[in-house]
Amino acid sequence: MSIESDMRARDAAYESQYFHEQDVRAIKALSRKVRDAHARQEGYCADSEEIAELRKRVPETTTFSDDAIERLMTWKHDVLGNSARGGTVGA
């Protein structure tokens, strides 16, 4: 292999990685929109139900403000993806 072909392969790998990251971001945003639309159609707020479920299962969170818990949930969903979001609540 030549240096030129190695550089082309490296550039192709970087490009592929970049587009994969962009796809993941777009899929997360789309999934969030679909989940929220489903929640509105079914007449419930997935976030508030998820917060209530968290407070029921983890009593230590009862002292947290709704805003703090919502930020925590947003962080969790961004890190873990939407598959971990509200397993018993909606989509």
Radius of gyration, alpha carbons of the chain: 19
* Tens-level pLDDT at each residue, the chain (91 residues): 688 999 999 999 999 999 999 999 999 889 888 877 877 777 666 667 778 888 888 888 888 888 888 888 778 777 776 544 444 444 3
Domain range annotation of the chain: 3-84
Please report the pLDDT score of residue 1 as a whole number. 67
pLDDT at 89 (0 to 100)? 41
Rounded Cα distance between 14 and 73, Å, is 31
pLDDT at position 87: 44
The pLDDT score that the predictor gives to residue 66 is: 80
CB 39 within 8 A of CB 45: yes
